[in-house]
Chain A
Amino acid sequence: MIPLFEQEFVHKRRWMDDQDFLNMLTVASAAPGPLAVNSAVFTGFHIAGLPGVLAAVIGCILSPVIVILILAVNYERFRSMTYADSAFRGIRPAVVGLMAAAVYNLVKRNKLRWTWYSLSVLAFIAIGFLHVDPILIIALAGVAGVAFQKYLDRGRRT
C-alpha cells in the first residue's frame, strides 16, 4: 500500500514532496485507526483543507462499504449455503494463524530491545488471563510513556 501511495502522491500527481510524504506516514501510523484512512485525511488536508479531507475519506471507504453492505445483507443466504460451514471451519483456524503471523512480523520488524518485550508479556498476561480491558492497557501505556518522558526531563532541568 505504501509504495502505491508514494508512486501516486509524490511522483504521478505531485501532490507532495518526499519530506511531506514521510511526514504523512509518520502521522498516519502514529495515530490510531487504519493507515489508509489516516493517510487519506492527511493528504486531503494537505491538498485542499477540510473539503479535501472529506473527499479523500469518502473516496477511500465508498467502494469497500458498498461491497460489504451487499455481502452483509445477503450474509444469511450465503452463510447457509450447503458447503459454507465446512469452508468456515477451515477459515477460523486460519484467522488465528494469521494473527500469530502478525505478531511474528511485528517482532521481526521492530527489533526492540528485550526490555520492551516485558511490556508485551505484561499486556499479554493482563489481557489474556486477567481479562483486563485492552483499552485500559493501551491508555495506561500511553500515560506511562508520557510520565517516563516527564521523569527524564526533570533530570535535565537544573
Chain B
Amino acid sequence: MTNIVWQVFSVFFKIGLFTFGGGYAMIPIMQREIIQIHGWMSTAEFLDIVGVAEMTPGVIAVNMATFLGYRLSGAVPVALLATLGVVLPSSIIVFTISYFFKRFRDSLYVRRALEFIRPVVLGMIASAALLLFREAVVDAAGVFIAIGAFYLSAFRKVNPILILLGMGAVGFLLWSGVFF
C-alpha cells in the first residue's frame, strides 16, 4: 500500500513541478505519466476525468490531482496527498522567489529560460491534443463536436464549462437512444 501512496505523491509532485503555463499544460505530462508510463487508466477514462475536472470549481490541476488520487487508491488520504503533491513544488518555488524577489526579477537567466519554455509548452499542448484525438474523436459527429468546441472557445470566448455541458447534452441527444 505504501508503494502506491509514494508513487501517487511522486508522480503528482513531478507534474506540479513541470507544469508551466497553466491548466492545459499539465495534460500532456499527466497523459505520459498516468497512461503511458504507469498504465493507471485508459485514455477514455482520463478524458472523462479531465472533462469533470474542468466543469467543477477550482483549478484544474488541483481537481485532477484530487480526483485521480482517489481513483487510483480508493482512499481519501491518498487523494489529499496527491493534491499536496501537485501544489507543493510550485508553492515552494514561489515562496523562495518571494523571499529573494529582487534577485529573481533582475535575473536575465530566468527570463531567458522562460522565453524558451513558453513556445515549447505551446507545442506540447498541441501534441497532446493530437495524441488524445484518436481516442477522443471516434466518429464524424465527434469531429463536429471538437470543431464546435474549438470555435466556441477560441472565437466566441464561451466559458469552457458551458461548452462541456453543452457538448455533453449533444452527446446525450445523439447517442442515448432517447431520441433516435
Contacts and interface: CB of A to CB of B under 8 A. Distances in A.
A64 interface: yes
A36 interface: yes
Contact of B171 (A50, A87, A104): A87
Interface string B1-38: 00000000000001011111111100111001000100
A61 B149 contact: no
Contacts of A100: 126, 129, 146, 150, 154
Interface in A79-136: 79, 82-83, 85-107, 110, 112, 116-117, 119-129, 131, 133-135
A14 B125 CA distance: 37
Interface residues of A, number: 90
Interface in B75-127: 76, 79-80, 83, 86-87, 89-91, 93-95, 97-99, 101, 104-105, 108-110, 112-127
B83 A65 contact: yes
B74 to A, nearest CB: 9
A48 B50 CA distance: 35
Most chain-B CB neighbours within 10 Å: which of A69, A90, A126? A90
A55 interface: no
Chain B interface size, under 10 / 10 to 19 / 20 to 34 / 35 or more: 35 or more
A27 B57 CA distance: 24
Interface in A143-158: 143-146, 148-150, 153
B59 A36 contact: yes
A42 B94 contact: yes
Given A30-B114, A72-B67, A98 B160 contact: yes
A96 B112 CA distance: 30
Contacts of B98: 27, 41-42, 45-46
A87 B127 CA distance: 25
A130 B35 CA distance: 16
Contacts of A99: 24, 27, 125, 128-129, 132
Contacts of B119: 112, 116-117, 119-120, 123
Interface in B122-143: 122-133, 135-138, 142-143
B172 interface: yes
Nearest to A56: B91
Contact of A104 (B147, B150, B164): B150
Given A86-B171, A86-B174, A98-B150, 20 more contacts: A32-B16, A34-B23, A37-B61, A38-B90, A64-B58, A87-B168, A92-B51, A93-B136, A94-B146, A94-B168, A95-B50, A96-B132, A97-B145, A98-B163, A98-B164, A120-B123, A126-B127, A138-B121, A145-B114, A149-B113
A35 interface: yes
Contact of B28 (A30, A61, A127): A127
